[in-house]
Amino acid sequence: MAAFYAWLRRHPRLVDGVLALALALAGIGNGIGTGRYWLIPVALGMCLPVIFRRGHPVAAFAVTVAIGAVQVVVGAIGVHPVVVGTRVAVVGVRPIASDLAIVVLLYTLAAYTNRRASVTGLGICLLGSGAAMLSWKPTALSALTWLLVGSIMFAGPCLIAWVLGDSMRYRRAYYANLEERAARLERDRDAQAQIAAAAERARIARELHDVVAHNVSVMVVQADGAAYAIDADPARAREALMAIAAAGRQALTEMRALLGVLRRTGADGAAALAPVPGLSQLDDLLDQARAAGLPVTCTVDGEPRELPGGTALAAYRIIQESLTNTRKHAGPGAEATVRLRYAGDRLDLEIADNGIGAAAGSDGAGHGLTGMRERAAMYGGSVIAGPRPDGGFGVVASLPIRSAERAGVA
């Protein structure tokens, strides 16, 4: 049965054609049965627009109402005596089955057009019903009975059809609104997924930049040292080569940790990730910088606090990138200082060097400072970087601790 209903919904013109044919045959039968053969073309003319009611509801309704008006006028002119029991009733307009086409088209007008057009159609039908009632004068009925029966015969079906059609229009609009809302929510969900994917790609790009830039700079410095010391001091050259190997292994480990979020590596679908760096690994970072030939001093002001994972990672990466830039641009003999200050709900970082600073040449697009600013902005912080008045280059960062905790980003 469901398949049959679905087939009918796919062929609305056929359904309307069958309905129009049934109404037309019934109207033709009324005309032949009463001897009023002029009703045959009236029945055909009123039922033909039913076939096109869904695509052209206003035009179909207008044509049928016009033909119905002709039926009322002609019926009022031609008076036919009819015997009712022992009394004679004089009847002007006698409804036929094809008149139901007006009811069908009024329903269509209310269901497929706006409220203004449907109310106008209802008013026209009620006026036509009033005219038909005035022409329909059965003397066998009292005035009250005539009014009641006439209202049921002429006006009642019009009111019922309009109410049903208007209700259908409201339900159709309601379902369309629900579908539109669901489609909009789906589009919003897809957009949010794309934004999240873009943010994750940007995060991974920043992490890869920090890992690669830091460790490669260490490897380059150590390789240069090994090249100079390989003949004069083989032991120092061996230490440099070991430092290069350690930096390479660390870079590979961190890169595997980052790329592990892009693919499933375990039987349970979880990626095997290394611990996220934080300020607890700061001593190792400083030792690595010193081993690469950069003297670094570190001071901590205030009472150290446990930081949210995201804030700790941002602080670690800012210090790491700053030391990497110092090794790349500060020049020979430069020294660096790292200062951490815990001030209430804020962590302040200051990384400075006494190198050549802004006089250093550029070796690329320079995404390091941009990445530091983006990291700080993720947690409501800020980064200021530039040449120092007394020489060298400095990076000052401020990371609100509470805002990071509320954000819940790790």
Q: What is the model's pLDDT at position 76? A: 59
Distance CA 208, CA 202 (A): 10
Helix (H, G, I), strand (E, B) or coil at 74: helix
Q: Last residue of a domain, which of 157, 174, 191?
A: 174
The region of weakest confidence among 82-91, 197-206, 229-238, 397-406 is: 82-91
Distance CA 105, CA 77 (A): 26
DSSP 354: -
Q: How many residues does the chain have?
A: 410
Q: What is the model's pLDDT at position 396? A: 94
Which residue spans within 78-137 are E strands per DSSP?
Answer: 80-84, 87-91
pLDDT digits over 158-202, tens only? 899 999 999 999 998 898 899 899 888 888 888 887 787 677 677
Residue 393, beta-bridge partner list: 387
**Cβ–Cβ under 8 Å, residues 62 and 68:** no
Distance CA 145, CA 136 (A): 13
Closest residue by Cα to residue 120 from 70, 55, 168, 57: 57
Q: What is the model's pLDDT at position 109? A: 93
Write b or e for each residue in 103-127: b if 16 or more Cβ atoms lie within 10 A of its Cβ, otherwise e.
bbbbbbbbbbbeeeebeebbebbee
Confidence band of 141 (pLDDT split at 50, 70, 90): low
Distance CA 74, CA 253 (A): 97
Residue 396 main-chain phi, psi, to 5 deg? -120, 125
389 found inside a domain:
yes
User: What's the mean per-residue pLDDT of the chain?
Assistant: 79
Give the count of beta carbons closer than 10 Å to the beta carbon of residue 285: 19
Q: What is the model's pLDDT at position 305? A: 84
Distance CA 368, CA 366 (A): 6
Q: What is the model's pLDDT at position 269? A: 44
Q: Last residue of a domain, which of 150, 174, 198?
A: 174
Helix (H, G, I), strand (E, B) or coil at 332: coil
CATH no. for residue 343? 3.30.565.10
Give yes or no for residue 379 having a pLDDT over 50. yes
Distance CA 235, CA 253 (A): 27
The region of weakest confidence among 38-52, 114-128, 348-362 is: 348-362
Residue 283 main-chain phi, psi, to 5 deg? -60, -40
The mean per-residue pLDDT over the stretch 86-103 comes to 69
Distance CA 34, CA 18 (A): 25
Give yes or no for residue 360 having a pLDDT over 60. no
One domain for residues 153 and 298 = no
159 found inside a domain:
yes
Scanning 233-338, the segments in alpha helix (DSSP H) are 234-259, 282-291, 309-329
Distance CA 68, CA 383 (A): 82
- For residue 98, the enclosing domain spans 12-174
The mean per-residue pLDDT over the stretch 89-96 comes to 59
Q: Last residue of a domain, which of 116, 150, 174?
A: 174
Q: What percent of the chain has pLDDT over 70?
A: 79
Distance CA 247, CA 327 (A): 15
Confidence band of 288 (pLDDT split at 50, 70, 90): confident
- Could you give the number of structural domains in the chain? 2
pLDDT digits over 242-251, tens only? 878 777 777 7
237 found inside a domain:
no
Give yes or no for residue 299 having a pLDDT over 90. yes
The mean per-residue pLDDT over the stretch 75-103 comes to 62
Distance CA 201, CA 196 (A): 9
Distance CA 118, CA 11 (A): 25
Confidence band of 276 (pLDDT split at 50, 70, 90): low
Confidence band of 258 (pLDDT split at 50, 70, 90): low
Q: What is the model's pLDDT at position 300? A: 93
Residue 29: both structure tokens together: 């039968």
265 found inside a domain:
no
184 found inside a domain:
no
Distance CA 242, CA 219 (A): 10
Distances (CA, A) of 25 to 19, 30, 106: 10, 9, 21
Question: Which position has the higher pLDDT, 149 or 385?
Answer: 385
Give yes or no for residue 92 having a pLDDT over 70. no
Give the count of beta carbons closer than 10 Å to the beta carbon of residue 291: 17
One domain for residues 160 and 21 = yes
Q: What is the model's pLDDT at position 275? A: 55
One domain for residues 153 and 292 = no
Residue 400, beta-bridge partner list: 346
390 found inside a domain:
yes
Closest residue by Cα to residue 393 from 365, 372, 379: 372
Confidence band of 405 (pLDDT split at 50, 70, 90): very low
The region of weakest confidence among 36-40, 90-94, 231-235, 350-354 is: 90-94
102 found inside a domain:
yes
